Structure 1
Amino acid sequence: MTTPAIRVRGLRKSYGKLEVLRGVDFEVARGSIFALLGSNGAGKTTVVRILSTLLKADAGEAEVNGFAVASQGAEVRESISLTGQFAAVDEILTGRENLVLVAKLRHLKNPGGIADRLLERFALTDAGARKVSTYSGGMRRRLDIAMSLIGDPQVIFLDEPTTGLDPQARNDVWRAVEELAEQGATVLLTTQYLDEAEHLADRIAILHEGRVLVNGTLAELKQLLPPAKVEYVEKQPTLEDVFFSLVGAGNKGDGQ
């Protein structure tokens, strides 16, 4: 299919007098990783909640996997998975039991086999028989992502998946996200970490105060600023330079 996996046009959402989204537009190509980058309060989670049918938009249109979010919610939900900012795993159960439980709830055949394949895929086989309460933060997040993949969703929403993780755990999650795209899934990733967007995303949209300021590849965004020259050595602008030139230096410190 050549149509975008996600299409958003004029998305608006307010809470009373507070405008959270003020006309958001973007498209996400199938099989790609798309990063929605912004500071706290920019509206990233609101976008994800609308696209995953957890929240209704006030205005605008959105499609996920060819289905209209507003009128085909059941079809959208069958096509997606959503991983929130905090791991939704049962600490009393083992890692394998968490996966088996979700597979059974989805009425899938051979839940044990599904669980074993996902444990291997996310390097959790050795920890599969341990209670999740003994897992590190990175292991819990990997298990959380594995659980969200049961049923082979075509579109995956990851809402700030590395919040609160140490550098090693973040790298583990990054590898898992890259593997998802390599296997054909479409990933929409929200993040406030500039290096995360720079490392993972095929395209990056910078969301600020409810609007998408720019949307492009990393190379395209870097071209928005002229290179700095120091002793005849060309220095290309970083994504951080692009981000703060667009949203203002006053936001520096949020998430960095």
Structure 2
Amino acid sequence: MIQVESLCKAYKNTIVLDDISFRVNAGEVYGLLGVNGAGKTTTMKILTTLARPDSGRVLIDGKDIVRHRSHIRSIIGLVPQERNLDRELSAWENLAIQGLLYRMPHLPAAIERQLKAVGLWNERHQPVVQFSGGQQRRLLIARALLCEPQVLFMDEPSIGLDPQVRHQLWQTVRDIAAQGITVVLTTHYMEEAQSLCSRIGILHAGKLLAQGSLAQLQASLEPSHSQEPHRPHPDHAPTRKPSLEDIFLHFTRQSHTKEPCYVP
């Protein structure tokens, strides 16, 4: 569904993305995991046609995102990091504006379907200014899904949410993926990536250091990295599979960068 090849981007002589490549299969949830400033949002902007790459190529559904931008925009949905809703309008009105921009037929039925899907039907006439952070996130998802995209991009979907609301949002993502929609999300939460993503790319300082399923990433570490820190005897050390946090720390520490590594 998505093929990213040798993607590069710089701003004012600062390299933000340095020759990254990855693919996303149709119907899977793929996560880009990295600290703030790793290049996740820039990647997302390029994939959603909001920024142009300096070099490299991105294909979505076999179409080049630069040459076929209008087509790409017609088959994708975006849940941005910022809550860019009209806070004075109701949930229904926010979706209605989106549908009118896309000249959607049968708009009332589509709005009803999406608001019910994210659990906001009873609040449809409430102004967004009265919504909690979690409700606003769910409304952003409903807006992104209104036009029934083939691919949904989610930039830091649960940022700023408390743990209970975050887990509710994760279930919404799982429900979306169960419909066959391809999901690409960025996150710096280890638990979020491990819970939702079938494959994960570790992005750090603009470089894609590793990617694969959790099992593949675990297998890529040497046995010494999976030993328990307090072993009773060097010849009888109990071992465990490294956690995603172990894997993240391993690769980012080996990346020869002087940037600090923060793991929430």
Q: Give deviations 1:102-154, integer Å, cap 9, x for gaps.
A: 22222112222111111111111222221111111011000001001111111
Alignment of 1:67-86 (within 5 A): 67-86=63-82
**TM-score (normalised: structure 2):** 0.90
Task: Tell me which residue corresponds to 2:59.
Answer: 63
**Where does residue 9 of structure 1 map in the other structure?**
5
Specify the code of the residue in structure 2 equivalent to 1:104: L
Whole-angstrom CA distance in 2 between matches of 1:67 and 1:139: 34
| CA–CA separation in structure 1 for the residues paired with 2:6 and 2:261 | 28
Distance 1:125 1:74 in 2: 31
Q: Which moved more, 1:136-145 or 1:125-134?
A: 125-134
Q: Distance between the aligned counterparts of 2:12 and 2:121, measured in 1?
A: 48
Equivalent residue for 2:241, pick from 236, 243, 246: 236
Establish whether residue 41 from structure 1 lines up as the match of residue 50 from structure 2: no
1:91 counterpart letter in structure 2:
R
Letter in 1 for 2:170: W
Match of 2:84 in 1: 88
Answer yes or no: is 1:149 the counterpart of 2:145: yes
Instruction: Name the SS for the 2:220 alignment partner.
Output: coil
Amino acid at match of 1:238: S
Please tell me whether the aligned partners of residues 100 and 114 of structure 1 are also in contact (alpha carbons under 8 angstroms).
no
Give distance in 2, aligned partners of 1:110 and 1:62. 33
Deviates more, 1:206-215 or 1:102-111: 102-111
Task: Name the CA distance, whole Å, in 1 between partners of 2:178 and 2:61.
Answer: 18
Residue by residue, what CA displacement relative to the aligned partner does 1:3-38 show, whole Å, maximum 9, x if unpaired?
xx1101110111132111110000000000000111
| Residue 136 (1) aligns with residue 145 (2) | no
Q: Give the RMSD, CA atoms, in angstroms.
A: 1.6
Q: Aligned partners of 1:209 and 1:252: how far apart in 2?
A: 10
How many pairs align?
251
For structure 1, which segment, 182-191 or 80-89, has the greater mean C-alpha deviation from structure 2 after superposition?
80-89
Please say if residues 139 and 169 of structure 1, whose CA atoms lie closer than 8 Å, have aligned partners that are also in contact.
Answer: no
Query: Which structure's CA Rg is the greater one?
Result: 2
- CA distance in structure 1 between the aligned counterparts of 2:97 and 2:9, rounded to whole angstroms: 35
Name the CA distance, whole Å, in 2 between partners of 1:252 and 1:25: 22
2:252 to 241, 247, 255: 247
Aligned partners of 2:252 and 2:261 also within 8 Å: no
- Partner of 2:184, secondary structure, is strand
Give unpaired runs (5+ residues) of structure 2. Answer: none
Calculate percent identity across the aligned residue pairs: 38
Preserved CA contact (<8 Å) 2:30 2:200: yes
What TM-score comes out, normalization by structure 1 length? 0.93
Question: Which runs of 5 or more residues in structure 1 are unaligned?
Answer: none
**Helix, strand or coil at the partner of 2:180:** coil
| Pairwise CA distance, 1:233 | 4.8
CA contact (8 A) 1:94 1:132 kept: yes
The answer to whether the 8 A contact 2:6-2:20 is kept is: yes
Q: CA deviation at 1:234?
A: 3.6
Aligned partners of 2:262 and 2:12: how far apart in 1? Answer: 28
Deviation (angstroms), 1:56: 1.1
Task: Describe the superposition over 1:35-79 as per-residue Cα deviations: whole angstroms up to 9, x where unpaired.
Answer: 011111111111111111111111111111211012111111111
Task: Identify the match of residue 188 of structure 1 among 165, 184, 187.
Answer: 184
1:252 deviates by 4.0
Q: Does 1:199 align with 2:199?
A: no
Aligned to 1:50: 46
